[in-house]
Structure 1
């Protein structure tokens, strides 16, 4: 197989991408249009009520982003006509049967689509259970059924996450979950029963006239409870794991590739270094650290943070597409860095301290924020006890100064309470990853890279080798500046 012709492989292809307004999908779309302007057609599923709304979201939330500046410069005044010829935004929703598409439109797509790439996902760790199950699990089901109905289908690529492994330690292989498999040893997981549980819970809450805000919170709690019951740390990875189960069960003879990225970060190189959107796992820590709101944390400093730049992950998708098209496959690719080029929490912490000491963020008054080395406690139990005691002490002091009328001390205590609350929330949310002991094997991914290299891979255009990343240079000169620029 000639991997020197990947761009040529994309010529005249009709590709359907779900989750088109998401971070990864945008980078994928830009890459395809930039390396192969003769791609035949790109159908983009946009969550919207009608075609006009879908077009509006495409313009504002995708094509209007700085990410497309290189492509805009290349095409100049012809950019709008170029993308209108290549892209069709279709209004729909992955969580609906038939993806919520209109009957006349779906028939046209069935006839023309060659490749389906499912990037649609609800990525919040504490998402509502009904929303997460709808997109991450039932959405995967709907996409598989859609792809199987395409007359000329060559491949389905499903973007999952490496963290469907839960909190496993040691070497984590590229294996797919069987339907009903759990991590806790509980009785077999039944997705239909989970759906019914959600429906019954909402129906009961509505019948009791519970406010929408309370229903939303109840759905978040239910998702977390069900995830932990079956052995997953949060609703996101739990519902993504069920999505993989659905795909394995329903695919039939459909060629399928499951891509499992680790923590996807800002672009390393393409279309330019340091494009970022949305506050991802590591970015939350970066923002809080740089703004001086994070001075104490609980983590295992030896834990590996498995990072992969977004453009490298997109490259791996395109190369995997070329390698597996029209093959009777069900292949998993874990795309990360922990096995071949690991970087620990301790090292990352050093990068943050160094960067923000030299490049301090300014507060609202224009004064630079002085950064101190974050105190890291490795014992989570002791850390949580300390936080509880601090919360109690602050409340006691606040009650006292309120009675005494000490406004300055009162404000100081409020600020300290705010920092405690932020730290508590952060540790609660990211605890499974601050103490993560797993290393992701990338056997299939590395084999794909080696085969592609041996057969002419243009590594300047499609590199996804984590060993080529200089973490100090990337974090200090690319990722943290990107975080400051786009998220602060």
Structure 2
């Protein structure tokens, strides 16, 4: 029987390089590493230099965009001197671009960087679902080769952060293994990864053709975005993001053959469950875009399958998964492993239940979320099948367009109903795939990994989603976090206007009936 793994023993004194550190998940990982492994040797952050003279180098961006983040508020309160000293002495910032060979450094600088790193965590990504194909390829796929080259310089393990949605249009049980494309055939190497040489050559040829045909930046971006979606759909993915992240996995497996590689696939990452504080969030995520549109009266129906499982995972459970995977990779090297940080197979929640909980909380306690709700939500929110959604959209579009035309003739602005309709269309175009799932993600291997650690580590680096109480998490933790951390305070003028327009509060706080 193998001895228990230990996070502190594996990471103490180690030099860890992290990419994508200005992003949401990487900040949670960074904070947890600093707080839970205070004697980690050094953390190296590769950060793109800002554009223009005022944006500065990596250190400037770190001080401005990372060190000031509210994710460190707990550490600032509990150990302010330690945090300041750690930032000054053990955070190294390297100005580099992961999409460029050698990160844009000289070969000597790149090799020297590689030699002083014991572990690489690659969290760099473009999470724009409808990114221009050339940009998505560069960040989500091709850059992985550069990151892997750095890891190989000192035989350092690579932890590659991916997404459960690399499973694309496949159906059923999605296991922690390499994903077979759902549609177009792509040759598979004897080692198990898919050979992307022909696919990449094809995609790069089509990108080059579009760039040669037009020099208009806006038109070029539009056509490259359309190309990305078309190619993703053809090969078996819903969008360019998931398509290129799958390619990133294949390139990582190819580049790290015979080395140590762990791929961590989160599902839909939302606010933290517990750490560093409950509800910490940065930016508006997948589910939040729909919540925000509902709160602002921009939509009241959406295409979804209410009885199907939507896979949402708190960010701290994902960060813990990354750290456990990193500790294992250091302590037990030489393997390629895949873990899925998800909830669908062990603590599932349906699309309909999520909507019911959010809407009930919104109608009962909307005044508690002053940045989210400008007024009392008086309309319901319905989920409908895709055919019904398209019929409703068509019928509403005809009426809204007619009213908008009349308003323009009278010198008024666009009809609010037409604006709401466009919001609904955009949300559906971007997110409807994620609310009509045809699969369940499984995390058996991740849970088995946690069992390789002692009880203290399992408690400190919780990855088991059965700890989530969905009512508590969605209705109180997440809604509060979305309101507090992700949204800006309202201006005094908008608050005065809202107060003047607000109805007299009622004594009852009973929820209105929820339509599902």
| TM-score, structure 1 normalization | 0.91
Q: Does the residue aligned with 2:306 lie in a helix, a strand or coil?
A: coil
Q: Residue 496 of structure 2 corresponds to which residue in structure 1?
A: none
Q: Does the residue aligned with 2:366 lie in a helix, a strand or coil?
A: coil
Q: Is structure 2 residue 257 aligned with structure 1 residue 252? A: yes
Q: Is structure 2 residue 330 aligned with structure 1 residue 328? A: no
Query: Whole-Å Cα distance in 1 between the matches of residues 186 and 397 of structure 2?
Result: 39
C-alpha distance after superposition, 1:174-215 (max 9, x if no partner): 1114xxx53213465874455445554555455455311111
Q: CA RMSD in A?
A: 2.4
C-alpha distance after superposition, 1:398-456 (max 9, x if no partner): 334544x3x7xx65x7100011111111111112111102111112112112332xx33
Shift of 1:58: 0.8
Shift of 1:339: 0.3
C-alpha change, 1:193 and 1:259, in structure 2 (3 Å) is: same
Q: Is structure 2 residue 294 aligned with structure 1 residue 289? A: yes
- The correspondence for 2:379, drawn from 363, 367, 372, is 372
Query: Whole-Å Cα distance in 1 between the matches of residues 158 and 255 of structure 2?
Result: 12
C-alpha distance after superposition, 1:41-67 (max 9, x if no partner): 111111126995111111111111011
Counterpart contact for 1:2–1:456, Cα < 8 Å = no
Counterpart contact for 1:167–1:432, Cα < 8 Å = no
Q: Is structure 2 residue 66 aligned with structure 1 residue 65? A: no
Pairing of 1:418-429 with structure 2 (within 5 A)? 418-429=419-430
Shift of 1:360: 2.1
Q: Is structure 2 residue 147 aligned with structure 1 residue 146? A: no
Pairing of 1:223-238 with structure 2 (within 5 A)? 223-238=228-243
Query: Whole-Å Cα distance in 2 between the matches of residues 319 and 169 of structure 1?
Result: 29
Q: Does the residue aligned with 1:359 lie in a helix, a strand or coil?
A: helix
Pairing of 1:137-216 with structure 2 (within 5 A)? 137-150=141-154, 152-153=155-156, 155-177=157-179, 182-186=181-185, 188=187, 191-197=196-202, 199-201=204-206, 203-216=208-221
Q: Is structure 2 residue 104 aligned with structure 1 residue 90? A: no
Query: Whole-Å Cα distance in 1 between the matches of residues 235 and 229 of structure 2?
Result: 10
Structure 1, gaps ≥5 residues long: none
Counterpart contact for 1:122–1:236, Cα < 8 Å = yes
Counterpart contact for 2:5–2:328, Cα < 8 Å = no
Q: Residue 135 of structure 2 corresponds to which residue in structure 1?
A: 131
C-alpha change, 1:209 and 1:245, in structure 2 (3 Å) is: closer
Counterpart contact for 2:214–2:220, Cα < 8 Å = no
Moved more, 318-327 or 241-250: 318-327
Q: Does the residue aligned with 1:360 lie in a helix, a strand or coil?
A: helix
Moved more, 478-487 or 227-236: 478-487
Query: Whole-Å Cα distance in 1 between the matches of residues 274 and 4 of structure 2?
Result: 20
Q: Residue 343 of structure 1 corresponds to which residue in structure 2?
A: 349
Q: Is structure 2 residue 424 aligned with structure 1 residue 382? A: no
Q: Does the residue aligned with 2:313 lie in a helix, a strand or coil?
A: strand
Counterpart contact for 1:287–1:487, Cα < 8 Å = no
- The correspondence for 2:405, drawn from 396, 399, 402, is 399
Q: Does the residue aligned with 2:57 lie in a helix, a strand or coil?
A: helix
Structure 2, gaps ≥5 residues long: 188-193, 488-516
Pairing of 1:442-481 with structure 2 (within 5 A)? 442-452=443-453, 455-481=454-480
C-alpha change, 1:75 and 1:102, in structure 2 (3 Å) is: farther
C-alpha distance after superposition, 1:291-323 (max 9, x if no partner): 222211121101211111111111111112222
C-alpha distance after superposition, 1:97-134 (max 9, x if no partner): 22223434323222221111111111110011111111
Q: Is structure 2 residue 282 aligned with structure 1 residue 277? A: yes
Q: Number of paired residues?
A: 474
Q: Does the residue aligned with 1:331 lie in a helix, a strand or coil?
A: strand
Query: Whole-Å Cα distance in 1 between the matches of residues 5 and 231 of structure 2?
Result: 47
C-alpha change, 1:196 and 1:323, in structure 2 (3 Å) is: closer
C-alpha change, 1:462 and 1:38, in structure 2 (3 Å) is: same
Counterpart contact for 1:162–1:261, Cα < 8 Å = yes
- The correspondence for 1:79, drawn from 83, 87, 103, is 83
Q: Does the residue aligned with 1:136 lie in a helix, a strand or coil?
A: helix
C-alpha change, 1:468 and 1:77, in structure 2 (3 Å) is: closer
Query: Whole-Å Cα distance in 1 between the matches of residues 340 and 21 of structure 2?
Result: 22
Query: Whole-Å Cα distance in 1 between the matches of residues 271 and 358 of structure 2?
Result: 16
Query: Whole-Å Cα distance in 1 between the matches of residues 405 and 375 of structure 2?
Result: 32
C-alpha change, 1:294 and 1:400, in structure 2 (3 Å) is: closer
Counterpart contact for 2:186–2:196, Cα < 8 Å = no
Q: Residue 418 of structure 2 corresponds to which residue in structure 1?
A: 417
Query: Whole-Å Cα distance in 2 between the matches of residues 468 and 356 of structure 1?
Result: 24
Query: Whole-Å Cα distance in 1 between the matches of residues 58 and 482 of structure 2?
Result: 28
Q: Is structure 2 residue 310 aligned with structure 1 residue 305? A: yes
Query: Whole-Å Cα distance in 1 between the matches of residues 79 and 112 of structure 2?
Result: 29
C-alpha change, 1:159 and 1:367, in structure 2 (3 Å) is: closer
Query: Whole-Å Cα distance in 1 between the matches of residues 256 and 82 of structure 2?
Result: 40
